[in-house]
Structure 1
Amino acid sequence: MKKEKAIFAGGCFWCMVKPFDQWEGIESVISGYTGGHAANPTYEQVKSGDTGHKEAVEITYDADIFSYDQLLDIYWQQIDPTDDEGQFQDRGESYRAVIFYTTEEQKAAAERSKQKLSESGLFKKPIVTPILPASAFYPAENDHQNFYKTHKDEYEADRKQSGRDEFLKEHWPEHEAKY
Structure 2
Amino acid sequence: MSRRLLLGFVLFSVVACSPGDPAEGAPSTEASAIQPGDSGRRETAVFAGGCFWSVEANFEAVPGVVSAVSGFAGGATASPSYDQVVRGGTGHLEAVQVTFDPARISYRQLVDRFWLTIDPTDPDGQFCDQGPSYATAVFADPRQKAAAEASRRAAAARIGTARFVTPVRDAVRFWPAAAAHQDFARRNPSRYGGYTRFCGRAARLRAVWGDAAA
**Shared fold (TM-score, shorter chain, > 0.5):** yes
Q: Which letter maps to 1:145?
A: Q
- 5+ residue gaps, structure 2: 1-38
Contact 1:84 1:128 (8 Å CA) reproduced: yes
Q: Any residues of structure 2 matched to 1:42-61 within 5 Å, and which?
A: 42-61=81-100
Question: Which of the residues 33, 47, 50 maps onto 1:11?
Answer: 50
Contact 2:48 2:94 (8 Å CA) reproduced: yes
Counterpart Cα distance in 1 of 2:209 and 2:168:
22
Counterpart Cα distance in 2 of 1:155 and 1:134:
29
Runs of 4 or more above 3 Å deviation: none
Counterpart Cα distance in 2 of 1:175 and 1:144:
28
Deviations 1:48-100 (A, max 9, x none): 11211000000000111011121112100111111111111111110000100
Say if 2:133 is the partner of 1:94: yes
Q: Match of 1:106?
A: 144
Counterpart Cα distance in 2 of 1:84 and 1:98:
10
Q: Match of 2:157?
A: 119
Q: Which letter maps to 1:140?
A: A
Q: Match of 2:61?
A: 22
Q: Which letter maps to 1:92?
A: G
Q: Any residues of structure 2 matched to 1:27-176 within 5 Å, and which?
A: 27-102=66-141, 104-120=142-158, 122-123=159-160, 125-175=162-212
Contact 1:19 1:74 (8 Å CA) reproduced: no
Note closer, same or farther for the CA distance 1:105–1:42 as it changes in structure 2 (3 Å cut): same
Note closer, same or farther for the CA distance 1:138–1:125 as it changes in structure 2 (3 Å cut): same
Counterpart Cα distance in 1 of 2:127 and 2:162:
16
Contact 2:71 2:177 (8 Å CA) reproduced: yes
TM-score, normalization by structure 1: 0.92
Identity of aligned residues (%): 41
Counterpart Cα distance in 1 of 2:129 and 2:165:
17
Number of aligned positions between the proteins: 175
Q: Which letter maps to 1:114?
A: R
**How far did residue 24 of structure 1 move?**
2.4
Note closer, same or farther for the CA distance 1:114–1:138 as it changes in structure 2 (3 Å cut): same
Deviations 1:91-126 (A, max 9, x none): 111000010012x23111111111112222x24852
Contact 1:85 1:91 (8 Å CA) reproduced: yes
Counterpart Cα distance in 2 of 1:39 and 1:124:
34
**How far did residue 175 of structure 1 move?**
4.0
RMSD: 1.5
